[in-house]
């Protein structure tokens, strides 16, 4: 009993001292800031073929902003049918890498190198399949000039990657 009393007295003194100690103010929570961006890009993986029976069955709709995309692709590639397999709209960050991921297997790493003289963006691009870089290039992307990357032969046609800078950026 003699040992318990000093412990209880010590606990009482500690709790009394803690109650009188100044309380530190709660840390101020700042709103999350979004990273600075240079614009937005739309990227799509497209299956090009001449055989109307060779469809994937998973076609996605091309955004209405790019309605002349199929005719432009037909001028560059020797195919008549173009089917969007996957698409992705992505911010292009100033200080961070951006990833355009229309499918789980093929994607594009985009690094902004700032605005281009005469409009558009200077970009460093890396075209990836799984964990392997297929193509590295630097380019200037302008809203009225989509970038077409011819990919591998696939089924009865070819895979194409399209990158378009959104207007007004």
33-58 confidence digits (pLDDT tens)? 777 888 999 999 999 999 887 766 66
| Per-residue pLDDT at 14 | 43
Q: Where are the alpha helices (DSSP H) in the chain?
A: 4-20, 69-76
Please give the C-alpha separations between residue 17 and each of 4, 6, 8, in angstroms, as whole numbers. Answer: 20, 16, 14
Residue 136: inside a domain, yes or no?
yes
Percent of the chain with pLDDT over 90: 52
Residue range of the domain that includes 103: 37-165
Residue 118: inside a domain, yes or no?
yes
| C-alpha closest to that of 121 among 86, 94, 102 | 94
Q: Which two tokens stand for residue 120?
A: 């558009």
pTM above 0.85, yes or no: no
Number of domains in the chain: 1
């Amino acid at each position: 009993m003699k040992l318990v009393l000093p412990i209880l007295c010590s606990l009482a003194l500690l709790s009394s001292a803690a109650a009188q100690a100044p309380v530190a103010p709660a840390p101020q929570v700042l709103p999350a800031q979004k990273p600075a961006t240079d614009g937005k890009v739309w990227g799509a993986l497209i299956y090009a073929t001449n055989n109307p029976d060779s469809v994937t069955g998973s076609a996605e709709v091309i955004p209405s902003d790019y309605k002349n995309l199929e005719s432009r692709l037909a001028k560059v590639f020797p195919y008549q049918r173009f089917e969007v397999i996957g698409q992705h709209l992505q911010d292009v960050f100033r200080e961070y890498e951006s990833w355009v991921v229309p499918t789980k297997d093929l994607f594009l790493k985009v690094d902004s190198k700032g605005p281009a003289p005469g409009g558009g963006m200077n970009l460093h691009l890396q075209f990836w399949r799984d964990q392997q870089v297929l193509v590295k290039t630097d380019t200037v992307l302008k809203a009225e000039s989509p970038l077409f990357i011819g990919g591998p032969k696939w089924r009865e046609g070819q895979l194409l990657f399209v990158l378009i800078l959104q207007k007004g950026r």
